[in-house]
Structure 1
Amino acid sequence: MEIILVVSFSYLSGSIPFGLILTKFFGGQDIRKIGSGNIGATNVLRTGNKFLAALTLVLDILKGYIPVIISLQYFPELIQLSCLLAFLGHVFPVW
């Protein structure tokens, strides 16, 4: 049961596209149609909005950090799995 919880939470957390969400919410733009087409902080910076780029960077860091810290607290034997799944969620998102 713990493995399913860690795998699903870490992967889904890692797959949240904060660059896309923030630019749609604050600017109404689709970041995938601007600059390189990437949804990361660097492409958000290309839109000229430094605040959104910084916020995207911080949230991208936190989406990997939070599941790992939670796994470390409750399931320390699954920490490597949590790290891997947060990374895979970021690289291969569900959305």
Structure 2
Amino acid sequence: MGIAGASTDAAFVRVAGVSGLLAGAVSMAAGEYVSLKAQAELVERELEIERISIAENPEAETAELAAIYVERGLDPNQARVVLPRSWRIQTWP
């Protein structure tokens, strides 16, 4: 019933409905913005951690990447061929 029961003026009911619709849309948009912003910050922080790890211990990071390639189906020989190419593709500032 809500606002329709409180007023018999159809224009008032329409305005209230549109206001509720807009308020809901703005609320959802704000929630989505905050969610995406937090996700982007998390990804950037993870990238920064990886950049530091690569700079401080490139051998361990290379071994880790090779293990990932093998885990995903490459044999160790293929992983050794792919690794130098994948490092060249990366743009670590």
Structure 2 length as normaliser, TM-score? 0.30
Choose between structure 1 and 2: higher helix proportion: 2
Relative contact order: is structure 1 or structure 2 higher (C-alpha 8 Å, sep ≥ 6)?
1
Q: TM-score, normalised by structure 1?
A: 0.30
